[in-house]
Amino acid sequence: MEWEKAAQGFAAMGSEARLRVLRALIRARQDGLTVQEIGSRTGVPPSTLAHHLKFLTGAGLLTQTREGRALRTRADYDALRGLADFILQECCADSTNRKAANDG
């Protein structure tokens, strides 16, 4: 994953409201939620929910599909795994134990 894409993804999660939205969608699994369901589960007011969804979708963390008059939103698990892998890929790279093993 490129640094710029990772930064966009982490920035998109950079508010309490967007984290609540993302968490609700992760809990809903692949079924996703309608915009109305997201609002009722998170308590995010409709006046700002569209903004938060647009931000998360623009960063590639959510997908949306139209179902009649409703808009179903789902977490993009591949994108979220990519962010987790990106941030954890250097885990323990500078630890003392690893350096000692490489020096021996």
72 located within any domain? yes
Residue 101 CB partners (closer than 8 Å, separation 6+): none
98 located within any domain? no
24 located within any domain? yes
CATH number (domain holding residue 22): 1.10.10.10
Q: Give the β-pairing of 33-34 and 70-75.
A: antiparallel
100 located within any domain? no
96 located within any domain? no
Q: Which domain holds residue 29?
A: 3-90
102 located within any domain? no
pLDDT digits (tens, 9 = 90+) for 41-99: 999 998 899 999 999 999 999 999 999 999 999 999 999 999 999 999 988 888 776 55
Nearest CA-CA partner of 12 in 74, 76, 56, 51: 56
Say which residue the tokens 């969608």 belong to.
25
The predicted structure's pLDDT at residue 94: 86
Question: pTM for the whole thing?
Answer: 0.82
Per the structure, how many domains does the chain have? 1
